[in-house]
Amino acid sequence: MDNDRKYAWLVKAISDVDMAKLNITPHETHPKWNYTILPQKS
């Protein structure tokens, strides 16, 4: 698809370490798609 090539430069991999630092609260409905990112825990 043309769109894949057009926007491929926007994709950036995030490491597991960086993901673990995020304060993510998944929602009940489709938790992999719907979540809230809250401020970092102190």
SS3 36: strand
Look at residue 3 and tell me whether its pLDDT is greater than 80: no
- Looking at residue 42, what is its pLDDT? 66
Q: Which residue has the higher pLDDT, 8 or 33?
A: 33
**Statement: the pTM of the whole predicted model exceeds 0.75:** no
- Looking at residue 1, what is its pLDDT? 52
Look at residue 7 and tell me whether its pLDDT is greater than 80: no
Contact residues for 27 (Cβ-Cβ < 8 A; gap 6+): 34, 35, 36
pLDDT tens-digit readout, 12-42:
888 999 888 899 999 999 999 999 999 987 6
Q: Tokens standing for 26? A: 């998944």
